[in-house]
């Protein structure tokens, strides 16, 4: 894209260079950029830098720093104060809005399949697995880390280069309207929804609200486009007609189902699940075909991630591969190579400790899944649990539900911290005498008590799960364990 393309993309808003009212025509036509960033520290030669006003800093302070690092152009709401810009600046009313507009304009120039991935749980891992599968056949671009919001998603689109043959774009939301805006920009050719669970209920109300918010973008897909969804999820299975709830979209998309148990309407299902604890899972990957439902089967498919919830993510990735014409054997190879982003159930080793780092975020479904994985691990098992956020009016009962669930497992030591976890701890004690439970309101006390236990078992193999919503800052607990 050139500056001329950018100006068209953001509705021809005003622009300036060296405190003048215009950019020379030769620069407008010739200046090309590759990739876009919002962090001046990450600018590389040829990047487009968006000066965003954030909570902690204002990108407008770093316009010239961006040029010094090689930025081809800058999108900003005003010129840098007290100094002339050292390169072309496109002035807009709202930088974030311009980012979405420019990404949307660039998306229209792409002729590769764009796979959008969302869901209450597992979307980051499903994104990583899908990218790993597709990489067996295509040159793939994917969302970096967890950069899945209204800033990260358009930046992912703008990072797609001429070498890429497919892109996997994660789309995370917690309010109504966000998916609509993101899908209008991304216009996915294939859309994956992993599941619908009790998350962001503070803003979305209930499971029906979660489903409605996640499916807002279906109207931006081409007629008959594949919608890959979990058939074991009751909310998602209601989309079997291809439409979004409450909207006249029947037949808009073409549902492609996956499931854990054999069912004729599932493109893929899994059998013979076997857990290897921290070493991952194996299963038989089963494809359905024709009226009989019988299709190709592949035994002993291995994934590096643990838990049946990870098998769901693998099946979603297999569906994408099938839609794009991949062979079952290549799909299995891709799945065997897949891993996920740190903090999403990854395992790390530190001496006698195997750490299950799952502290990026938490809701009842993901916390239950992580506890089940921990129960299948070897050695002395320790769970360190913190509050789950954005659960709305039912936050207390949902914490109690997880507490009762945790008490049903033979876990050697359970640590809980946070105001809401007080209710989780009470429920745990009601079902289990709680002799293996330590509750502290503050995180520092939990770290101290946990450290004491770990030090007392230096000669024993330990598996430690750390799980909480991001606002709890349990990454500090992870750091203490890994010291």
Lowest-pLDDT range of 321-335, 337-351, 403-417: 337-351
What's the confidence (pLDDT) of residue 20?
46
How far does CA 279 lie from the centroid of its chain? Answer: 22
Contact 80, 61 (CB under 8 A): yes
Mean pLDDT of 138-156: 93
Residue pointed to by tokens 């081809």: 72
Question: How do strand 413-417 and strand 346-350 relate by DSSP bridges?
Answer: unpaired
Kindly report the backbone phi and psi dihedral angles of residue 26, in degrees, each rounded to the nearest multiple of 5, phi listed first: -65, -35
Dihedral sign, CA of 109, 115, 120, 123?
negative
Taking the CB of residue 177, how many other CB atoms lie within 10 A of it? 10
Report helix, strand or coil for 202: helix
Residue in the structure block whose two tokens are 């002395």: 380
Q: With bands split at pLDDT 50, 70 and 90, how would you rate the model's confidence at 315? A: very high
Mean pLDDT for 465-473 is 93
Q: How far apart are CA 98 and CA 5, in angstroms?
A: 12
Which pLDDT score is estimated for 435? 78
Task: Inform me whether the pLDDT recorded for 286 exceeds 70.
Answer: yes
Q: Is 162 exposed, middle or buried (0-12, 13-18, 19+ CB in 10 A)?
A: exposed
Structure confidence at residue 47 as a pLDDT band (50, 70, 90): very high
Lowest-confidence region among 117-121, 283-287, 479-483: 479-483
Q: Is the pLDDT of residue 178 over 70?
A: yes
| CA 6 distance to own-chain centroid | 28
Residue 245 has pLDDT above 60, yes or no: yes
How confident is the model over 4-27, as a mean pLDDT? 63
Q: What is the pTM of this model?
A: 0.90
Strand partners, 118: 193
Q: What is the mean pLDDT of residues 139-155?
A: 93
pLDDT of 291: 63
CA distance 200 to 180: 17
Q: What is the per-residue pLDDT across 201-216, written as a single tens digit (0 to 9) for each?
A: 889 999 999 999 999 9
Give the pLDDT score at 264. Answer: 80
* Averaged pLDDT for residues 434-452: 92
Q: pLDDT at position 28, please?
A: 66
Average pLDDT for residues 167-183, to the nearest whole number?
Answer: 96
Cα gap 365→121, rounded to integer Å = 7
Instruction: Give me the chain's average pLDDT, please.
Output: 90
**Of 467, 316, 446, 328, the residue nearest 386 (C-alpha):** 467
Alpha helices, H only, 108-166: 123-134, 152-158
pLDDT, tens digit, 9 for 90 and up, residues 355-412: 999 888 899 999 999 999 999 898 999 999 999 999 999 999 999 999 999 999 989 9
- Nearest Cα neighbor of 190 from 100, 319, 327, 331 is 319
**Alpha carbon 196 to chain centroid distance?**
14
Residues 6 or more apart whose Cβ sits within 8 Å of residue 173:
118, 149, 179, 182, 200, 213, 214
- Tell whether the model's pLDDT for residue 297 goes beyond 70: yes
Cα separation, 367 vs 467, in Å, equals: 7
Question: Comparing 107 with 15, which gets the higher pLDDT?
Answer: 107
Q: Give residue 18's pLDDT.
A: 44
Alpha-carbon distance of 236 to 240, in angstroms, equals 8
Nearest residue to 394 via CA among 232, 233, 207 = 207
């Amino acid at each position: 894209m050139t500056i001329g393309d950018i100006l068209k993309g953001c509705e021809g808003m005003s622009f300036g260079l060296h405190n003048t009212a215009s950019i020379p025509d030769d620069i407008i036509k010739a200046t090309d950029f590759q990739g876009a960033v919002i962090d001046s520290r990450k600018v590389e030669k040829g990047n487009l830098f968006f000066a965003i006003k954030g909570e902690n800093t204002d990108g407008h302070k770093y316009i010239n720093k961006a040029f010094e690092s090689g930025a081809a152009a800058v999108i900003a709401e005003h010129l840098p104060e007290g100094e002339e810009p050292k390169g072309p600046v496109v002035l807009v009313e709202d930088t974030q809005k311009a980012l979405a507009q420019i990404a949307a304009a660039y998306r229209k120039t792409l002729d590769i399949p764009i796979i959008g991935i969302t869901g209450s749980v597992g979307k980051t891992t499903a994104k990583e697995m899908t990218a790993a599968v597709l990489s067996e056949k295509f040159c793939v671009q994917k969302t970096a880390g967890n950069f899945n919001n209204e800033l990260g998603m358009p930046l992912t689109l703008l990072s797609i280069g001429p070498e890429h043959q497919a892109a996997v774009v994660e789309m995370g939301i917690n309010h109504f309207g966000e998916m609509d805006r993101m899908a209008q920009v991304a216009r996915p050719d294939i859309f994956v929804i992993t599941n619908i669970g009790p998350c962001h209920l503070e803003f979305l109300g209930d499971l029906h609200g979660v489903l409605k918010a996640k499916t807002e973008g279906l109207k931006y897909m081409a007629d008959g486009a594949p919608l890959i969804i979990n058939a074991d999820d009751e909310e998602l299975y209601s989309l079997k007609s291809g439409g979004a709830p409450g909207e006249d979209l029947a037949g808009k998309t073409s549902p492609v189902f996956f499931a854990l148990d054999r069912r004729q309407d599932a493109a893929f299902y899994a059998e013979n699940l076997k857990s290897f604890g921290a070493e991952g899972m194996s299963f038989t990957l089963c494809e359905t075909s024709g009226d009989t439902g019988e299709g190709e089967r592949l035994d002993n498919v291995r994934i590096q991630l643990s838990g049946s919830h990870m098998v769901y993510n693998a099946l979603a990735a297999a569906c994408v591969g099938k839609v794009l014409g991949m062979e079952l054997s290549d799909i299995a190879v891709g799945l065997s190579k897949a891993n996920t982003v740190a903090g999403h159930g990854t395992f790390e080793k530190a001496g006698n400790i195997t750490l299950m780092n799952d502290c990026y975020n938490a809701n009842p479904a993901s916390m239950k899944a992580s506890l089940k994985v921990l129960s299948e691990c070897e050695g002395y098992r320790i769970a360190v649990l913190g509050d789950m956020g954005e659960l709305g009016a039912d936050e207390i009962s949902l914490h109690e539900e997880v507490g009762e669930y945790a008490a049903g497992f033979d876990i050697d030591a359970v640590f809980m911290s946070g105001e809401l976890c007080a209710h989780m701890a009470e429920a745990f004690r009601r079902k289990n005498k709680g002799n293996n439970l330590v509750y502290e309101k503050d995180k520092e006390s939990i770290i101290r008590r946990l450290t004491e236990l770990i030090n007392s078992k230096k000669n024993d193999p330990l598996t430690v799960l750390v799980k909480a919503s991001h606002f709890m800052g349990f990454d500090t607990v992870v750091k203490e364990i890994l010291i």
